[in-house]
Amino acid sequence: MTDKQEPIRNEDHTGWIDQGPRNYQRDLQNPDLLVPPTTDHGTVANLRFSFSDVHMRLESGGWTREVTNRELPASHDLAGVDMCLKPGSYREMHWHKEAEWAMMLRGNARVTALNEKGESFIDDIEAGDLWDFEAGIPHSIQALDQGCEFLLVFSEPDFSENNTFLLTDWLAHTPKDVIAANFKVDEDTLKPLPSHEKYIFNGNVPGPIDTVKKPGTPM
């Protein structure tokens, strides 16, 4: 171990060794917390929180985990979600009152969105690409052949993925006669609808985007 990896500040000869138990990897990730600069008097709030320290929600089609102001009280404006989907799996159509922007970290996916005018958007994205949805825009994400992992950022610090408005949840709690009247079908047609929310679920890798993307109808 070097002095830099111990809570010892050479310039003013303060601190001493930490004999444990300790997490060496976390100490290496936070050198200015382990050995604070002389200008730090311990009153600066923690401005980061590792996704590795939060609950992982496991679903049939992948997983998700979030950091909100519950875990990071210093965050007054934003919340974050890390999500991963198996090849072909969906983050089902949903919407929320918070704005959302995202970066694809690994793999590839197909993103779909709708607006109140009936206009639609659909495109394939890969690692390094971004998307930005205004508040209230219904949208879904489907992983392509590589599967995917992406980072989501929301415009409210107390946002939670567990409180999004899901299409399947809405359908499950709406009387079937109302749904049938809305879609102009008989109620028997609605029997295959799920009885509970799907959230993240398995699916098949879709074909080329040219087979589903209609020209001239972008948002």
Q: What is the DSSP string of 95-156?
A: E-SS-EEEEEEEEEEEEEEE-TTS-EEEEEEETT-EEEE-TT--EEEEEEEEEEEEEEEESS
**Active-site residue 96, yes or no?**
yes
In terms of domains, do 181 and 98 share one?
yes
Mean pLDDT, the chain, rounded, equals: 91
CATH number at residue 170: 2.60.120.10
Indicate the number of domains in the chain: 2
Q: Is 196 in the active site?
A: no
Tell me the average pLDDT across 116-128.
93
Average pLDDT of the segment spanning 75-91: 97
Residues 16 and 59 both lie in one domain: no
pLDDT for 31 equals 87
User: Which one of the listed residues 65, 66, 92, 96 is annotated catalytic?
Assistant: 96
Q: Are both 11 and 93 inside the same structural domain?
A: no
Domain range spanning residue 12? 3-34
User: Same domain for 11 and 85?
Assistant: no
Q: Is 100 a catalytic residue?
A: yes
pLDDT at 9 over 70: yes
- Tell me the Ramachandran region of residue 77: left when phi exceeds 0, alpha when psi lies from -120 to 50, beta otherwise: alpha
Q: Is 13 a catalytic residue?
A: no
User: Which one is catalytic: 65, 92, 94, 197?
Assistant: 94
48: in domain: no
Does any domain span residue 211? no
Q: What are the distances in angstroms from CA 141 to CA 55, 83, 195, 206?
A: 22, 11, 21, 12
205, HSE (Cβ side, Cα atoms, 13 Å): 11
139 a catalytic residue: yes
Answer whether residue 216 is part of any domain: no
Among 92, 100, 110, 197, the one annotated catalytic: 100
